[in-house]
Amino acid sequence: MCVMKVTVHKYLGYRRLVELTPNIAGLVRIKYNKLMEKRTLGKTGEKVSILGLGGFHLLEISDRDTVKLINRYLDSGGNYIETAPEYGHGESERKVGLVIKERRDDCFLVTKCHIRDEKGAEETINESLKRLNTDHVDLLIFHHVQSEEGLKKIFGPKGAAEAFYRAQRDGKTRYIGISGHGQPDVLIKAIEKYDFDVLMTIFNFFDRFNFPKTEKALIPLAKEKKLGIVGMKAFADGFLWNYPEESLRYALSLPIDIMVAGFNTEEMLEKDLKIAENFSPITEEEKEELFKNSPILGNYICRQCDLCLPCPEGIDIPRVFLYEGWYDRQMRDWVVRDAPEFALRDRLRFWFDNRKKATDAYSRLEKKADACTGCGECNPRCPYSIDIITKLENSHYKLTREATSVIRV
Using alpha carbons only, give the angle 113, 115, 118 rounded to the nearest 5 degrees.
105
Q: Which of 311, 322, 331, 358 binds ligand SF4 (CB under 6 A)?
A: 311
Q: Does 318 bind ligand SF4 (CB under 6 A)?
A: yes
- 310 secondary structure, DSSP code: P
Q: Does 373 bind ligand SF4 (CB under 6 A)?
A: yes
- 403 secondary structure, DSSP code: -
Q: Which of 135, 148, 266, 306 binds ligand SF4 (CB under 6 A)?
A: 306
Q: Which of 140, 167, 372, 399 binds ligand SF4 (CB under 6 A)?
A: 372
Q: How far apart are CA 207 and CA 209, in angstroms?
A: 5
- CB distance 322 to 302 below 8 Å: yes
| Ramachandran assignment for 92, one of left (phi > 0), alpha (psi -120 to 50 degrees), beta (any other) | alpha
Q: Does 254 bind ligand SF4 (CB under 6 A)?
A: no
Q: Does 90 bind ligand SF4 (CB under 6 A)?
A: no
Pick between residue 8 and residue 371 the one whose CB is nearest to ligand SF4.
371
User: How buried is residue 58: exposed, middle or buried, by Cβ count under 10 Å (0-12/13-18/19+)?
Assistant: buried
Pick between residue 185 and residue 387 the one whose CB is nearest to ligand SF4.
387
Pick between residue 80 and residue 321 the one whose CB is nearest to ligand SF4.
321
CB of 266 to ligand SF4, least distance (A): 40
Q: How far apart are CA 57 and CA 264, in angstroms?
A: 6
Q: How far apart are CA 393 and CA 321, in angstroms?
A: 11
Q: Which of 61, 98, 217, 305 binds ligand SF4 (CB under 6 A)?
A: 305
Q: Does 307 bind ligand SF4 (CB under 6 A)?
A: yes
Q: Does 308 bind ligand SF4 (CB under 6 A)?
A: yes
- 339 secondary structure, DSSP code: H
Q: Does 297 bind ligand SF4 (CB under 6 A)?
A: no
The residues binding ligand SF4 (CB under 6 A) are 302-308, 311-313, 315, 317-318, 321, 372-378, 381-382, 384, 386, 388-389, 392
